[in-house]
Structure 1
Amino acid sequence: MAQPLEAKVLVFDADDTLWENNVVFERVIDDFLSWIDHPTLDRAEIRAMLDDIERANAVAHGYGSKVFLRSLGECLERLRERPATDVERRDIEELAAALIAHRVELMPGVADTLDALAGRYELLLLTKGEREEQQRKLDACGLLHHFGAAHIVPEKDVETYRWLAREHGFDPAAGWMIGNSPKSDIRPARAAGMNAVFIPNANTWVLEHDELDPADPGVIELATFGELLPLFRPGVSR
Structure 2
Amino acid sequence: MDSPATRRALIFDADDTLWENNILFERVIEDYLDWLAHPTLDRGEIRSMIDDIEAANTRTHGYGARAFLTNLGQTFERLNARPVSEAETREIERLATALLEHRIELMPGVMDVLGTLGRRHDLYLLTKGDSAEQQRKVAASGVAQHFRHVHIVPEKDVTVYLEVARQHDLDPANTWMIGNSPKSDILPARAAGMNAVYIPHVSSWVLEHAEIDPADTSVLHLSALPALLEHF
Q: TM-score normalised to the size of structure 2?
A: 0.96
Is the 1:49–1:75 Cα contact (8 Å) retained in structure 2? yes
Aligned to 2:182: 182
User: How many residues were matched structurally?
Assistant: 231
Q: Superposition RMSD on alpha carbons, in Å?
A: 1.4
For residues 98 and 118 of structure 2, the distance between their equivalents in structure 1, rounded to whole angstroms, comes to: 33
Matches within 5 A, 1:109-124: 109-124=109-124
Matched, 1:61 2:61: yes
Question: How far off is 1:33 after superposition?
Answer: 1.1
Aligned to 1:194: 194
Per-residue CA shift, 1:176-195, capped at 9, x if unaligned? 00001111101111111110
Which amino acid letter does the alignment assign opposite residue 213 of structure 2?
D
Q: Secondary structure at the match of 2:47?
A: helix
Matches within 5 A, 1:132-211: 132-211=132-211
Relative distance call for 1:80 and 1:126 in structure 2 (3 A) is same
Which amino acid letter does the alignment assign opposite residue 110 of structure 1?
V
Per-residue CA shift, 1:41-73, capped at 9, x if unaligned? 111111011001011111111111110000000
Is the 2:7–2:120 Cα contact (8 Å) retained in structure 1? no
For residues 40 and 187 of structure 1, the distance between their equivalents in structure 2, rounded to whole angstroms, comes to: 40
For residues 89 and 147 of structure 1, the distance between their equivalents in structure 2, rounded to whole angstroms, comes to: 38
Q: Gapped runs of 5+ residues in structure 1?
A: 233-238
Aligned to 1:10: 10
For residues 39 and 189 of structure 2, the distance between their equivalents in structure 1, rounded to whole angstroms, comes to: 44
Matches within 5 A, 1:75-154: 75-154=75-154
Relative distance call for 1:186 and 1:5 in structure 2 (3 A) is farther
Q: Secondary structure at the match of 1:119?
A: helix
Question: How far off is 1:173 after superposition?
Answer: 1.4
Is the 1:7–1:175 Cα contact (8 Å) retained in structure 2? no
For residues 143 and 102 of structure 1, the distance between their equivalents in structure 2, rounded to whole angstroms, comes to: 15
Q: Secondary structure at the match of 1:220?
A: strand
Q: Gapped runs of 5+ residues in structure 2?
A: none
Per-residue CA shift, 1:156-201, capped at 9, x if unaligned? 0111101110010012111100001111101111111110000011
For residues 22 and 143 of structure 1, the distance between their equivalents in structure 2, rounded to whole angstroms, comes to: 19
Is the 1:69–1:92 Cα contact (8 Å) retained in structure 2? yes
For residues 128 and 116 of structure 2, the distance between their equivalents in structure 1, rounded to whole angstroms, comes to: 25
Relative distance call for 1:82 and 1:160 in structure 2 (3 A) is same
Is the 1:5–1:231 Cα contact (8 Å) retained in structure 2? no
Aligned to 1:43: 43
For residues 58 and 6 of structure 2, the distance between their equivalents in structure 1, rounded to whole angstroms, comes to: 35
Which amino acid letter does the alignment assign opposite residue 48 of structure 1?
S
